[in-house]
Homo-oligomer: A and B are copies of this chain.
């Protein structure tokens, strides 16, 4: 159903509001962390003098942490200033003036701000600050030397499969269309383009799209920028230096792509924006499929937009991002339930591996690490579509544990 002009205008306004608010969240992250340091300092000063003698470097250590936070904040201001100038006609440069509420609008979506921290016309929850924190750690995973171990585990599967399935010695890689949904800061999509494939990254979150734009369009040389990705981590530090250790990015020059390669990033919801059938030769999902309310919608879309004979490569856990978020729908399938659904939909399972240990934006020096026990799968949409009715009939005898 086509939208009316009024609806389109309203949607554009909402998008703009969301964009400006995300920029403000990035900008507020520094002040938010500085407040947190201030609370630590206040508690330290309330301690008895005997305790001050035991940890007398503490105050100075906090000052060093503050310097790292300030450095990150300068970098964020730079990202905001230089990124995405062609979105919303540069209106993102709008000043986040603490005393003005532009257009007299409620910029907090009408929600209560009781548990939010206020900043200019906006106010933020811890969840929004966590999204900035995750984005900064994503710089490490996708664009630093320190992120290579993580990339080598999960992206390499995809790259190796693509090089084998679409051998550049036999096929012109520019003729192979690859889609990477959940592209984050774009490294995997860039790697595939770097190998000459026509590749599009797709990402929904502005918390990823804004820094991705900065890296892909602004960074010109290796190790151009410094970032303190772990400075918000106050617990589980072996030493205070670990909290303040810097990383440099990018570890490669993002502009270093073969001439005339088709590489793009598309903003939006995977299910909504990819509707053309039989379009892609390959779809690569890494730490992505568990971001759906209903993972079967992702499966439907992948099946629909893959060319007959096309491949879906998947890697990741099943965290289900909307699970246990109040008011959000979430369908949490086990891997064996998901695997059955994939087969019943008609995919052929070409390769499969389980139990692959992989971190996600891990701080290597932290005393706490989250390790994912990932599954990898290479699936193929058959050249001749099998009747869905047959598939369903055939698989009624299939047990979950097969």
List residues of A whose CB falls within 8 A of some B CB: 36, 40, 43-44, 46-47, 51, 53-55, 57-58, 61, 115, 234-243, 290, 294, 296, 299, 317-320, 323-324, 326, 329-337, 340-341, 344-345, 354, 366-375, 392, 400-401
Alpha-carbon distance A371/B373, docked complex (angstroms): 12
> Contact: B53 with A242, CB < 8 Å?
no
> Contact: A337 with B372, CB < 8 Å?
no
Alpha-carbon distance A369/B241, docked complex (angstroms): 26
Quote the shortest CB–CB distance from A324 to chain B (angstroms).
8
| Chain B, Cβ-Cβ closest to A297 | B51
CB contacts (< 8 Å) of A290 on chain B: these are 235
Given A238-B334, A334-B242, are A317 and B367 also a contact pair (CB < 8 Å)?
yes
CB contacts (< 8 Å) of A324 on chain B: these are 36, 234
Quote the shortest CB–CB distance from A264 to chain B (angstroms).
31
CB contacts (< 8 Å) of A367 on chain B: these are 317-319, 335, 372-375
Quote the shortest CB–CB distance from A273 to chain B (angstroms).
21
Some 9 contacts from A to B, beta carbons below 8 A apart, are A54-B296, A54-B341, A55-B341, A57-B337, A236-B318, A236-B372, A237-B332, A368-B373, A370-B371
Given A43-B331, A371-B368, are A53 and B317 also a contact pair (CB < 8 Å)?
no
CB contacts (< 8 Å) of A337 on chain B: these are 55, 57-58, 61, 239-240
| Chain B, Cβ-Cβ closest to A365 | B373
> Contact: A370 with B373, CB < 8 Å?
no
Option from B319, B331, B368 in Cβ contact (under 8 Å) with A319: B368
> Contact: A319 with B401, CB < 8 Å?
no
> Contact: B294 with A51, CB < 8 Å?
yes
Option from B57, B240, B373 in Cβ contact (under 8 Å) with A366: B373
Prevailing SS type, chain A contact patch = mixed
CB contacts (< 8 Å) of A57 on chain B: these are 337, 340, 400
Q: How many copies does the complex hold?
A: 2
Quote the shortest CB–CB distance from A229 to chain B (angstroms).
17
Alpha-carbon distance A239/B334, docked complex (angstroms): 5
CB contacts (< 8 Å) of A366 on chain B: these are 373
Alpha-carbon distance A80/B47, docked complex (angstroms): 40
CB contacts (< 8 Å) of A241 on chain B: these are 400-401
CB contacts (< 8 Å) of A369 on chain B: these are 370-371, 373
Quote the shortest CB–CB distance from A120 to chain B (angstroms).
22
Quote the shortest CB–CB distance from A374 to chain B (angstroms).
7
Alpha-carbon distance A286/B137, docked complex (angstroms): 30
| Chain B, Cβ-Cβ closest to A329 | B43
> Contact: B54 with A318, CB < 8 Å?
no
Option from B54, B235, B400 in Cβ contact (under 8 Å) with A332: B235
> Contact: A55 with B296, CB < 8 Å?
yes
CB contacts (< 8 Å) of A329 on chain B: these are 43, 46
> Contact: B53 with A392, CB < 8 Å?
yes
Given A237-B335, A317-B236, A372-B367, are A51 and B354 also a contact pair (CB < 8 Å)?
no
Quote the shortest CB–CB distance from A1 to chain B (angstroms).
18
Option from B61, B294, B345 in Cβ contact (under 8 Å) with A47: B294
